[in-house]
């Protein structure tokens, strides 16, 4: 939606921000709101809400996956901040089998240290703890919809189902647009996609996470280097050369049974389903292999490839910095020449303008404009 916010505006839909970062920061602040506390008046959520309230058009879209984890008091705060506007909820969901493997590899891109065996064991045992909590807070669709449905009337709660595999790739987008009364046929496709990792790369990232945590890598540094550069820019690009993640027959059976129970609960909810609730039942078995089947030789090859790619990335960054420095040097040289010329040619009022550029030891300095009246000393 970021790339198409202007086209959306023409149809009466505001995507506030419009940068994606504005939605991330806003929902992040909302999720941290403690019971009994108020949102910061100039904080990211209320800035976004203020933009939404001031929009003269009929619709505003705020979208970020962390909204599913909001607690009741956080949901209330969000709704109150958007009054007198009418809040509607749109939840997208896909079948549990694809979700199961996708969620684990997403965890490996987000600093989670849990190996595949631990993830599977704790999920099948429904063991209370961080693994199950990290999965179900985003994926227990009936719980999510009931939670929001307590504060938003049922006719304003929409479940958009992801079509089965081999469906028209535009069908999900069409379903989503139908809820927004939006014609998205002419919208641009996003330039960046959140590509999944292959089975080898996901295993490599999980091991990187363990070491990063052991060495105390800060969250901000992790996001920039390990998540942004390594996982997203490098390893995700190797997805086509790797096998996908699959599950064992035991896990497949467990997931299908759990999905059946979830669909039965959803059928009992009085909500608007866009698509079919049966879309959330797994189709054919996944092709690929389990992460634990990846051997050390494959991980070593992936590690070497990643190191080379990281090195090339650093070289490209260095080349860009050198080019920028050269450009700044040329600009400063031009300013110096102009300074000399202007200092020799006073204007009719006796005003001289001097432009000083500073550069020492080959480094670009700061240009300053100094305006003086009267005779030059």
Give per-residue pLDDT as tens, 328-375.
999 999 999 888 888 887 655 555 444 444 444 444 444 333 333 344
Q: Is the pTM of this model over 0.85?
A: no
Structure tokens at 37: 């506390």
**pLDDT tens, residue by residue, 245-280:** 999 999 999 999 999 999 999 999 999 999 999 999
Sequence-separated (6 or more) residues with CB below 8 Å from residue 156: 86, 87, 88, 89
pLDDT at position 366: 41
Averaged pLDDT of the chain: 89
291 vs 203: CA distance, rounded Å = 6
243 vs 43: CA distance, rounded Å = 44
DSSP 87: P
Do 369 and 351 meet the contact criterion of CB atoms below 8 Å apart? no
What is the full DSSP assignment across 219-280? HHHIIIIIIIIIIIIIGGGGGGGSPPB---HHHHHHHHHHHHHHHHHHHTS-SEEES-GGGG
Structure tokens at 118: 């631990």
Sequence-separated (6 or more) residues with CB below 8 Å from residue 194: 232
**pLDDT tens, residue by residue, 81-116:** 999 999 999 999 999 999 999 999 999 999 999 999
Residue ranges of domains in the chain: 1-87, 90-157+176-187+246-289, 197-243+295-340
């Amino acid at each position: 939606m970021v790339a198409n916010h202007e086209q959306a505006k023409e149809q009466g839909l505001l995507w506030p921000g419009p940068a994606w970062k504005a939605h991330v920061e806003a929902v992040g602040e909302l999720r941290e709101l403690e019971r009994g506390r108020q949102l910061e008046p100039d904080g990211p959520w209320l800035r976004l809400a203020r933009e939404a309230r001031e929009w003269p058009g009929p619709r505003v879209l705020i979208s970020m996956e962390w909204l599913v984890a909001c607690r009741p008091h956080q949901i209330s705060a969000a709704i109150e901040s958007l009054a007198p506007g009418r809040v509607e909820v749109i939840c997208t969901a896909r079948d549990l089998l694809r979700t199961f493997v996708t969620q684990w590899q997403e965890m490996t891109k987000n600093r989670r240290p849990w190996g595949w065996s631990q993830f599977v064991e704790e999920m099948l045992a429904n063991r209370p703890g961080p693994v199950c909590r990290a999965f179900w807070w985003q994926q227990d669709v009936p719980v999510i919809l009931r939670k929001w449905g307590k504060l938003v009337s049922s006719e304003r709660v929409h479940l958009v189902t992801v079509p089965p595999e081999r469906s028209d790739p535009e069908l999900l987008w069409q379903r989503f647009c139908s809820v927004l009364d939006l014609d998205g046929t002419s919208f641009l496709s996003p330039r960046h996609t959140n590509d999944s990792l292959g089975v080898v790369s996901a295993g490599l990232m999980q091991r990187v996470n363990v070491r990063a945590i052991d060495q105390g890598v800060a969250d901000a540094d992790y996001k920039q280097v390990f998540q942004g550069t390594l996982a997203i820019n490098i390893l995700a690009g190797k997805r086509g050369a790797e096998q996908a993640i699959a599950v064992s027959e035991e896990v497949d059976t467990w997931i299908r049974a759990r999905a059946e129970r979830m669909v039965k609960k959803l059928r009992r909810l009085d909500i608007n389903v866009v698509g079919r609730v049966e879309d959330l039942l797994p189709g054919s078995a996944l092709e690929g292999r389990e992460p634990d089947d990846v051997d050390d030789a494959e991980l070593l090859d992936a590690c070497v490839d990643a190191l080379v790619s990281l090195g090339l990335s650093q070289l490209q960054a260095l080349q860009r910095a050198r080019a920028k420095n050269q450009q700044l040097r040329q600009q400063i040289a031009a300013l110096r020449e102009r300074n000399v010329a202007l200092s020799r040619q006073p204007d009719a009022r006796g005003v001289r303008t001097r432009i000083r550029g500073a550069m020492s030891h080959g480094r670009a300095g700061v240009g300053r404009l100094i305006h003086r009246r009267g005779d030059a000393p």
